Amino acid sequence: MTEAEKLSLAEIRSAELVPFAPPRVKHDVFTPEQIEAIFAACHRNKPSGLLVAQLFKSADEIVAATSGSMPEGLTIEHFLAPMFHGYLAKNCAVLDPLVTEAFYNPKLMGWARDYFDAEIVMPRQMHYNFGPPQPSADPGHFDSTSYRGMDSTNAPVWFLAAMTNSRLFRDYKISLAAVVTWFWRSSDKGGFTYWPDGAHNPPKRIPAPFWNTAVVAENENMYHRGETIGTPDQWGKIKGLTFDSVIEGDPAGPDQWRVRNGDEVIGRLRTEDIRWLFHWTAECYPTYEDFRIRADHVDDLSPQLAVDIFMHDLKAKGVAVSTPTDPFNDDAFKAALLGTYSIGSPRSYPPGELPATRMAA
């Protein structure tokens, strides 16, 4: 396959990356009592590591899960920034009883049911990304897709991104409704940009400040990005980050947070100094039979089956690569997937909201 053919396919794939239905903006997502419980659970939760350190091992894996080509000399340190990641619910179970009402939430389940016109809705996960003012170098990404039998619990994010980019596994895809809720009112910098009509069409955005505001969408099939948070004079408050840095609730008070490397505290923040994103996700099924196929593992993917599907398609495209015995750690196989199933980047951004050249201030 020629480079021109690869570029043409990348353009086609990115144009196909559109959500099931137009995203829906919602306000007053959680009740005051639920909000208090969510923040209390975060504060007493175990320390949260950096988002980038939890999801990726290299810069090319990050690029695979976002968009565009790899700039020369780019390393994973390019993405080192004080954005942290934690969980309140996982695998359909709450991890802290404080968030039970917020997670098994009839309002959010109703929004998910309406969005996909689903008969069955199963709350699956609630995670949070949070950090102080900082630039955003994210050019636009889509969330890690879940397939019957394969998701982020048994496959790396870069591999799942290649599966999504290839469009070869759509029959196995699980429909996930996301309700992403933001809490940030300290600045009008820190909004949300999304491309509901594909990467080649103009984006839409939800501007900051916002508090208890959400979007309901299918984020696995839609480019989106968190915009730069705050202004340059507010950046760089946390110095000395490493890939082992963590943030945790500070015993000094319920609205106090501390960032540390090991036993060394390298920064302190207040809740109001942090842009919070809470990402609630539910699996949605149009009928009980669709749910049964998933629940009973009637037609699951496996890593080996995914590799077989990839190898068949690579051979048809004239891409010469050996069948890997360890596909998640085979550099030649990874290069073949990332090179063959690249995807076009978003073409336009809201005024003043271009991606930064670095995530670290």
Report whether pLDDT(76) > 60.
no
Residue 361 is assigned to a structural domain of this protein: no
Vertex 139: Cα angle to 135 and 141 (nearest 5): 115
Residue 349 is assigned to a structural domain of this protein: no
Vertex 83: Cα angle to 80 and 88 (nearest 5): 140
Task: Name the packing angle between helices 331-340 and 157-166 (round to 10°).
Answer: 40
Q: What are the DSSP calls for 251-286, one per residue? A: TT-TTEEEEEETTEEEEEEEGGGSEEEEEEEEEEES
The helices-and-strands tally (H runs, E runs) of the chain is 10, 14
Is the pTM for the entire model greater than 0.85? yes
Q: What is the pLDDT of residues 238-252, one digit of tens each?
A: 999 988 999 999 999
Task: Give the alpha-carbon dihedral of 282, 212, 214, 201, to 10 degrees.
Answer: -150
Q: What is the pLDDT of residues 286-305, one digit of tens each?
A: 999 999 999 999 999 999 99
CATH (domain of 295): 2.60.120
Whether 276 and 255 have beta carbons less than 8 Å apart is answered as: no
Whether 150 and 327 have beta carbons less than 8 Å apart is answered as: no
Binned at pLDDT 50, 70 and 90, residue 70 comes out as very low
Q: What are the DSSP calls for 224-237, one per residue? A: EEEPPBS-GGGS--
Among 257, 261, 234, which residue's Cα sits nearest to residue 245?
261
Q: What are phi and psi of 167, to 5 degrees?
A: 65, 20
Residue 188 is assigned to a structural domain of this protein: yes
Number of domains in the chain: 1
Residue 350 is assigned to a structural domain of this protein: no
Measured distance CA(203)–CA(96) in Å, rounded: 36
Full domain range(s) for residue 52: 3-340
Measured distance CA(48)–CA(209) in Å, rounded: 24
Residue 109 is assigned to a structural domain of this protein: yes
Task: Provide the mean pLDDT of the chain.
Answer: 90
Residue 122 is assigned to a structural domain of this protein: yes
Among 237, 273, 282, which residue's Cα sits nearest to residue 255?
273
pLDDT at residue number 297: 96
Q: Which element (helix H / strand E) includes 193?
A: strand 192-195
Measured distance CA(267)–CA(269) in Å, rounded: 7
Q: What is the pLDDT of residues 252-281, one digit of tens each?
A: 999 999 999 999 999 999 999 999 999 999
Residue 348 is assigned to a structural domain of this protein: no
Comparing 239 with 6, which gets the higher pLDDT? Answer: 239
Report whether pLDDT(4) > 70.
no
Q: What is the pLDDT of residues 193-224, one digit of tens each?
A: 999 998 889 999 999 999 999 999 999 999 99
Name 270's bridge partners.
256
Residue 70 is assigned to a structural domain of this protein: yes
